[in-house]
Structure 1
Amino acid sequence: MTTTNPYQLSIHPQRDALYAELHSRQFQVIKSPSRVSYLAIMLDSEGKLADFLHFCDLFRRYGLVPPAEDGACLEFEVNDIRIRRETHSEFVSYLVINEGGPFLRDPFATTSLQTLPPNWVANMVGVVVAAFHLAVEDAREQVEPELAEVKSFFEGMRLVGSQPQSGDAQLWTSFQLHSDGCGRFLVYNRNMSDSQLGRMVRRIIEIESYRLIALLGLPMAREYSRQLSSMDDKLASMTSLLSENTLKQDEPELLAKLIDMAAWVEDARAKCTYRFSATIAYHELVLKRLQELKEDEVSGHLTLTEFMTRRLTPAVRTCKTTNEHLESLSTRIDRVSDMMRTKVEMSIQAQNQHLLASMDRRSKIQLAMQHTVEGLSVAAISYYSVGLVKHLIEAVYEQGVSFDKSLVVGLSVPLIVGGVWFTTRRIHKGFLKLAKGQ
């Protein structure tokens, strides 16, 4: 909706959308008597698009112009039939209200779903998670039937009942599926306006649909609970091995097992975290809607709140406990992995120290060998140097220079050996100085 701006103010571009959000799913105004049918269908993003196109086909079947685009809530009315489609985070819901009758003595003999084209209902996409009928009768115009007759409306199943809104209505249900594959709720309006009745019906619908979607996490919780017990035992066994310092264990093998366990836990968390979080959120919504019903007890029967507290709450706690168990196991695996890595690193450091000590010993041996070779090299070089000097002395002597060749050669030997040794040491010191500089 576009509003005028006579004050020439700078308006946030999403202001109109923020105002419209609170009115996107208005409460229905429901008359007494009427028949209501509800479907909640699980869909992904692609499925929601296909469902919207299927919903547009319903407009065309009734000769109406379909909406141009999908929205949070779409609704149209044909004669006395109202059809409402709402999109939620993970499902799409359909609410069909028939206020025109004809209504039989058996409130579930005819349902609102039967007013829709049968082949259209059969061709709906997605999987149905909640499907139930809600019959509204006017207790101000007809006498409420005896309990035995009410029970016959629910095919003899055990009833759960209460008097919502401080006794202004009588509510019956069985929280079970009946012969048509749907649940049933029966409401007798004693002293409620159409608006009040619409709000109460909305709360009943949300209680039933949300509690079913909340329970989607229970099978997953049960499955992973069994596996988590086995994982706990494995982790305890590994931790025990780590605590036994005298045990010669294969640390890399244990670390590989821990990595496999960590990968399994992270995969389980990726699959379960959203479902368990959704379960907790839907459960909170159910409890809030139950409080809003303001139930009074019916003698001999559980109220909706008592039934939910006794049955739904333990299931939600199982999901919550499993989720916490996964988080706890992940944390413990991280701690054990840290200890394992520390142990492996310490082992590697010990090996490195042993290797360095061995290298140091080898270096000392090589140095001693080098000094030995150095001495031999001085002797060898001196020997060949003396030979060369001897040839030089003989050449000078043959040229007529008179001297004692043996004496000169003998005197040159210590000088040559000392010169070779001094030169070798100088070269060795030069290499050491170069190594220290690097």
Structure 2
Amino acid sequence: MRNELAALDVHPLRQELYRELHSRPFQVIPTEARITHIAVLTSPEQRARQFLHLQKLHRLMGEPWPEREVSCYEHSLGDLQIRREVHTEFTTYTFINLAKSDTAPFADTGLSLLPEGWLSELEGTVVAAFHIEVRPSSEDVRSELAFMRRHFEGMRLVGSSPLEGAARILGSFQLHSDDFGRFMVLNHKMSNSQLGRLVQRLMEIETYRLMSLLALPLARELTPALNDMDQTMSELTQALADNESLNEQELLAKLTNIAARIEAFRARSTFRFTATRAYYRLVLTRLDELRENEVSGHLTFSEFMTRRLTPAVKTCESVGERLEDLSRRVDRASEMIRTRADLAIQSQNQQLLSSMDRRSRIQLMMQHTVEGFSVVAISYYLISLLKLGMDALDESGIGFNKPLVLGITIPLVMTLVFVGVRRIHHRFIRMARHQ
């Protein structure tokens, strides 16, 4: 077949975009299966070593191992199906035991076929770990519920009939004596593909539920410090409102300290709180996809999550909102203090300018006084020079009335000197105004 796109400019990510929608396909699970799902928080270094650990599992079981890591890896090792999914901050492992077994529920699990000691070498921090027992249902609903309850160690159960009664699910959302959670799925009329989708949603609900709750201890840890900072901010703001005489530098130092603590808290919590909101939305989406019907005497999964998970998520959201609110309040208080400081500086500048203006007037008056003395001094020296010239003319035999001429010259010289000094003074004033 001819490729009509060969001559066109095709985006380099086009194939990857197509593959993305199919990168995590639903599993196909038969009615009798024992499943174990584990989610571990991982760093990039641990993730690389986890892939080597996955290759080791294949070698131990005599199977060819994967050469390249992918976001979702799935493979069958005899009666054991393994699935590894890499997410943003955690990695999940799903082990499906398809071997025939007559044992009681949860006696055999998805881990039963793993080589001894392999799981203990898995790197990362375990967040979610639970078993899912998938079995065919019976016609008697009462005996079916009684059978299911016997295998949850007397714990209070949550259950529902998803997809309009096509199956029945019970779970405790608690850790049992083996340190794993437990869910039991009884299939009424679902195909293997439908059952695989149901189990996948169930695993995602429990995993995302636990991931969303990771922020709750952090929110509880930050709350007392936020209460203290909130009280301090109220006192500082009230002092500003009462217009008390405050030390602006000391006040700004307190606000800077609060702002630094808030930024440190935000650095610790922003990602965690944002992730909590994202995981919570995923939980709600998966619950809607279950389309649950109520099982008599039990809360449905949606009712349980609404009653228990939603308040925890709202607590985390409220702490995040308080951090943002405190940050804005610190900014506004700092702005008010800076405004007070600017007004104080303007007042000081105005007083300084008034003082400089008074000094300038005094200097001007002193300058006028000095100008008068300078006119007399200059005139005195000029007249002395004229007198020396007259004496020289008189000694050379030129006759004239020296006292008369000197008397007439004195006012003329003083007048000329005064006019010259004033002209120089006005010239400098014009230069200053021009600049």
With normalisation by structure 2, the TM-score equals 0.93
Among candidates 215, 218, 222, match of residue 217 of structure 1: 215
**Change in 2 beyond 3 A, CA 1:400/1:93:** same
Q: CA deviation at 1:423?
A: 2.0
Residue 272 of structure 1 is matched in structure 2 by 269
Residue 412 of structure 2 is matched in structure 1 by 415
Residue 43 of structure 2 is matched in structure 1 by 44
Q: Which whole-Å deviations, capped at 9, do the CAs of 1:318-341 have from their partners, x for residues lacking one?
A: 111222222222223222332222
Residue 91 of structure 1 is matched in structure 2 by 90
> 1:5-404, aligned counterparts within 5 Å?
5-6=3-4, 8=6, 10=8, 11-105=10-104, 107-139=105-137, 150-245=148-243, 247-404=244-401
Moved more, 19-28 or 7-16: 7-16
Contact in 2 for aligned 1:32/1:189 (Cα 8 Å):
yes
Identical residues among aligned pairs (%) = 51
In 1: Cα distance, 2:230 partner to 2:341 partner: 23
RMSD across aligned positions (CA): 2.3
In 2: Cα distance, 1:153 partner to 1:396 partner: 143
In 2: Cα distance, 1:297 partner to 1:317 partner: 26
Corresponding letter in the other structure for 1:221: A
In 2: Cα distance, 1:189 partner to 1:4 partner: 48
Number of aligned residue pairs: give it: 434
Contact in 1 for aligned 2:97/2:111 (Cα 8 Å):
no
Corresponding letter in the other structure for 1:39: I
Q: CA deviation at 1:397?
A: 1.4
Contact in 2 for aligned 1:36/1:95 (Cα 8 Å):
yes
**Change in 2 beyond 3 A, CA 1:347/1:384:** same
SS in 2 for 1:153: coil
In 2: Cα distance, 1:203 partner to 1:143 partner: 24
In 1: Cα distance, 2:342 partner to 2:62 partner: 76
Q: Which whole-Å deviations, capped at 9, do the CAs of 1:233-260 have from their partners, x for residues lacking one?
A: 2222122122223x21222332332233
Q: Which whole-Å deviations, capped at 9, do the CAs of 1:269-294 have from their partners, x for residues lacking one?
A: 23222221221221121122122222
Corresponding letter in the other structure for 1:82: Q
In 1: Cα distance, 2:56 partner to 2:422 partner: 102
In 1: Cα distance, 2:385 partner to 2:425 partner: 25
SS in 1 for 2:226: helix
Q: CA deviation at 1:60?
A: 3.0
Corresponding letter in the other structure for 1:412: T
Q: Which whole-Å deviations, capped at 9, do the CAs of 1:178-232 have from their partners, x for residues lacking one?
A: 2222111112222221111111111110110000000011112222222222222
Corresponding letter in the other structure for 2:134: V
In 2: Cα distance, 1:376 partner to 1:219 partner: 87
In 1: Cα distance, 2:110 partner to 2:283 partner: 25
Residue 436 of structure 1 is matched in structure 2 by 433
In 1: Cα distance, 2:369 partner to 2:2 partner: 104
Contact in 2 for aligned 1:214/1:283 (Cα 8 Å):
yes
Q: Which whole-Å deviations, capped at 9, do the CAs of 1:6-58 have from their partners, x for residues lacking one?
A: 56463433222222111111111111211111111112333322322322332
**Change in 2 beyond 3 A, CA 1:77/1:109:** same
Contact in 2 for aligned 1:130/1:209 (Cα 8 Å):
yes
SS in 2 for 1:113: coil
Corresponding letter in the other structure for 2:292: E
In 1: Cα distance, 2:366 partner to 2:373 partner: 11
SS in 2 for 1:118: coil
Contact in 2 for aligned 1:218/1:315 (Cα 8 Å):
yes
Q: Which whole-Å deviations, capped at 9, do the CAs of 1:122-179 have from their partners, x for residues lacking one?
A: 2222211111111112225999966566444222222222222222222221111122
Unaligned residue ranges in structure 2 (runs of 5+): none
SS in 2 for 1:13: coil
Corresponding letter in the other structure for 1:74: Y
Unaligned residue ranges in structure 1 (runs of 5+): none
**Change in 2 beyond 3 A, CA 1:143/1:224:** closer
Contact in 1 for aligned 2:394/2:400 (Cα 8 Å):
yes
**Change in 2 beyond 3 A, CA 1:4/1:167:** farther
**Change in 2 beyond 3 A, CA 1:396/1:26:** same
With normalisation by structure 1, the TM-score equals 0.92
Corresponding letter in the other structure for 1:95: T
Contact in 1 for aligned 2:29/2:195 (Cα 8 Å):
yes
In 1: Cα distance, 2:173 partner to 2:2 partner: 50
Corresponding letter in the other structure for 1:230: D
SS in 2 for 1:114: coil
